[in-house]
Structure formats: structure tokens, C-alpha cells
Amino acid sequence: MDGNFSCSLSSRNAVSNRVLRLCASVTLIFLFLPTILFANEHSSKLDPVSIQLNSQHTSQSADYDAAIEKKSNGTTVPLTPEEKTWIHDHPVVRYGGEKEWPPYDFVDEDGKHTGLSRDMLELIAKYSGLSFQPVVANWDELLAKTKAHQIDLLPVLYDPEDRHDYLKFTQPYQTALTYFFIHDAVQAKTFDELNNKTLAIPKGYGQIEQIKERFPKLKILETDNLEDAVHAVLERKADVLYDNYSVISYLLKQYNISVIRPFKSMPTGETQKLAMAVRTDLPVLLSIETFAQTAETPADWSKADFFELAFTLMGGIRLK
């Protein structure tokens, strides 16, 4: 299948949606471990007074509390009166979902948005009472729709400075390794040997300017999405890919592509942090997202259990 990547990622004939969902769910638990541990350590700092209802809104808030209690099967988070009012006035949050960024963010064979990002939002919905409505598009389109106030929240993205004028970010929930991958036909061992080669990368990626600055002799081919970038390398219109190591590895394994291989990370070996983000005009939504991220503690599982199960389901890629 190395020379024919014609099937759409949404078809996913090679693996069932059930397995993808299981992988995403296990990965969700695994990625939230640091956040969960931090939340437990600092739980004593929560002010019980801050969750009391304002007397003039008691009736309205009581009805809302009952609805949340029913929805979350008795498990809620202590929201402030301001947060409860905001949820009452904005029960549906529009979030941006990518088409092809598995296992974090993709559309399944039924055309529904799924993956780790969707599972995180379902977890937040369980504890906050919010409902989340997907707006699915390519990445550059999602950024444009967010700027135009057609999207409220982006559930999985990096945090470059140029996005701070229209987005506010939660605390990061994963440190991700971004990596260069090259076609086997490219005989290179150093970055200098990539001079005048072509990098395929989706439009809107925050790393594009960074790559241009660090590698001015590397040509840039901007594609509509990551699938098109992989196509470009397979068809020899480009030589290099750059993205989250796990995402590219997942795609290559999914479609049994062996002619594209890992090359190097950035020369500094730096990692990047994944987080959620909301529009700057929605600060209350940001506080709800940040707090709800820490709500669920899977006490019946040990850290070793997560590592071992994640290792098995993700195909032998050891997560450290």
C-alpha cells in the first residue's frame, strides 16, 4: 500500500471504529494522569464558599443543579455561580474538529467526529452539564471560523504566540514530540542535507514560521490537511513531513506505509504542549474547561496499568 494512499481516512477499513475508540479512551486516561495527580494534590485549596448559590438565583440554579445531577449520574464539579449562569445561558458549545488527525481528532467511517479530543469533551460534559457540537473542517478553516466567532472552543492544539490575540489556553494536558519524517528516497543524515528539499505541511500549522526561520533553504508546500501532505510525499511532490510523532506514526502504521520513516526532531530536541483553547471573549468557558479537566480520578487503576495497556493498544510504541 506504500504507493497507493487513495483511500480516505474517514473510511478506516483496516481497523474498526470500536478499536479506535478504545485506543482513544485509553490514551485519554493515560494523558490525563499528570493533570489528575496535580488536581488531587491541590484539591484542598478549593473554597467551598465559592460554590454556594447566590440567594437571588436560588430557584433557577436549583433547577439547573438537578438537571446536571441527572445528566452526570450524581457526579458533578463545584462550579461558581458565574460559571453556572454562563452554562445556563450557553448550554451548547461549538467546538472545532479536524477530519484527519488520529488518534486525537478525526472523523470515523460514519462521518462522526471522534477521537481523544471528543472523549475529553464528553468527560467535561459529564461533569459540567455542557453539550458540545462539532464543527468539522480542515485546520486552517477551523482557525478562521474561530476568529469569526463561529467556533467557541478548539480541544487539541499547540500554543504558539501568534494565537494569543484571539485564543486563551487551558493548562497543557500532554507534552508532544514533533518530528520530521522523510521519504526513503531522500538520502540525508543531517538537516543540511535537506537544503532545497520540500516539506509538505498543512495550512495554518503554528510551526510553519518556526521552520522557515530555522531552515530557510527548506521549501514549503502547504496542503489542505495531513492526508494531503502524506500523499505529496508518496507521490514525490515533497520529501519531508513534520507533525506530532504519534499522529504520523499512527497514520503510517494504519495504512502499512513503509517508505516514509522518522528522521529527526528539531535540533534543540524541544517538545510542544497540547492544550484546549477558547476564544478570548469567553473567559468563563475557559475556567469551566480548566476545572472540569481535573474532575475524574480513575482510582482503581495504577500508573503502571495505564502504561502497560496504552503500550499494548498503541501497537508497541512505548510511551514515556
H helices then E strands: how many in the chain?
11, 14
pLDDT at 95 exceeding the cut of 50: yes
Cα–Cα distance measured from residue 119 to residue 248, given in angstroms and rounded to the nearest whole number: 21
Dump the DSSP string for 282-296: -HHHHHHHHHHTT--
* pLDDT of amino acid 76: 56
- Which of the two residues, 252 and 126, has the higher pLDDT score? 252
Q: Please, which pLDDT band fits residue 291 given cuts at 50, 70 and 90?
A: low
The Cα diameter of the chain in Å comes to 71
* pLDDT over threshold 90, residue 124: no
Residue 294 pLDDT: 55
- Give me the mean pLDDT over the 285-299 stretch: 63
pTM for the whole structure: 0.71
% of the chain residues with pLDDT over 70: 66
- pLDDT band of residue 227 (cuts 50, 70, 90) is very high
The answer to whether 30 touches 310, Cβ cutoff 8 Å, is yes
Given a cut of 60, whether residue 315 has pLDDT beyond it is: no
Residue 201 has what pLDDT? 98
Closest CA to 79 of 261, 294, 244: 294
CA nearest 24: which of 156, 120, 134?
A: 120
Burial 246-264 (b: 16+ CB within 10 A, else e): bbbbbbbbbbebeebeebe
Q: What is the pLDDT of residues 148-192, one digit of tens each?
A: 999 999 999 999 889 999 999 988 888 888 999 999 999 999 999
pLDDT bracket for residue 316 (50, 70, 90): very low
Q: What is the pLDDT of residues 234-265, one digit of tens each?
A: 999 999 999 999 999 999 998 999 999 999 99
CA distances to 95, 168, 191 from 113, rounded to whole Å, are 11, 23, 37
Distance CA 157, CA 103 (A): 13
pLDDT tens sequence across 2-36 = 444 433 444 433 333 444 444 444 444 444 433 33
| Average pLDDT rounded to a whole number, residues 119-143 | 91
Higher-confidence position of 68 and 282: 282
The pLDDT of 280-286, averaged and rounded, is 90
Q: Which residues of 145-162 are buried (b: 16+ CB within 10 A; e: fewer)?
A: bbeeeebbbbbbbbbeee
Q: Under a CB-based contact definition with an 8 Å cutoff, are residues 105 and 156 in contact?
A: yes
Whether 98 shows a pLDDT value over 80: the answer reads yes
pLDDT category of residue 77 using cuts at 50, 70 and 90 = low
Q: Which residue has the higher pLDDT, 112 or 22?
A: 112
